[in-house]
Amino acid sequence: MPQVSLTVNGKAFSVEVEARTLLVELLRDKLHFTGTHIGCDTSQCGACCVKVDGMSVKSCTFLAVQAEGAEVTTIEGLAAADGTLHPMQEMFREHHALQCGYCTPGMVMSAIDLVETHPDGLTETQIREGLDGNLCRCTGYHNIVKAVAAAWPLMHDKPAAIAAE
């Protein structure tokens, strides 16, 4: 069986896995990072989103062996050591952008990637389109969009959150 060496949330791991093991299975079952959820197993819902080498990926369709040598960040790796939430997590909390919470880890990870890749601002339409690969059956997305817009200036240290449409 292949050996996979990777860093998850700043900690190095070397794990033996079957070649067909998905990254989400490695994270949840072998490394016990259970904040990453399995929703659909088909890359449709986004509940399994994590960052691999700084890019958001759906870990239910990403083989663990593909993460060899990678830096992986899960929802557990966002908060500071003292418990201070990442700005996106804080805005999700402040704007009530979750209900059952099942989609929240993947939604937060995708939202962070979206904000990081738009340093000049985001329109509401861009936020909605940027998160269209993440499904939420509870919230109706309105508060999620507000949370992402509110996190943008915090993450970029700029005053304006939403660019003109």
Q: Where in the sequence of the chain do the CATH 3.10.20.30 domains occur?
A: 3-77
Report yes or no: 59 and 23 within 8 Å, Cβ to Cβ: yes
The three-state secondary structure class of 57 is: strand
Q: What are phi and psi of 88, to 5 degrees?
A: -70, -40
Total residue length of the chain: 165
Q: Where in the chain is the domain with CATH 1.10.150.120?
A: 87-156
Query: Does residue 162 have a pLDDT over 80?
Result: no
Contact 9, 33 (CB under 8 A): yes
Domain spanning 3-77, CATH class: alpha beta
Burial grade of 124 (CB within 10 A; 0-12, 13-18, 19 or more): middle
State the CB neighbour count (10 A cutoff) for residue 135: 17
**Those residues with Cβ within 8 angstroms of residue 152's Cβ, 6 or more apart along the chain or in another chain:** 115, 118, 121, 122, 158, 161, 162
Per-residue pLDDT reduced to its tens digit, 42-51: 888 999 999 9
> What fold characterizes domain 87-156?
DNA polymerase; domain 1 (1.10.150)
Taking the CB of residue 141, how many other CB atoms lie within 10 A of it? 18
Q: How far apart are CA 93 and CA 99, in angstroms?
A: 10
Place of tokens 């033996």: 16
Give the pLDDT confidence of 49-64 residue by residue, as tens digits.
999 999 999 999 999 9
| Whole-number pLDDT of residue 144 | 96
For the segment 86-139, what is each residue's pLDDT rounded down to a tens digit? 999 999 999 999 888 899 999 999 999 999 999 999 999 999 999 998 988 887
pLDDT at 156: 93
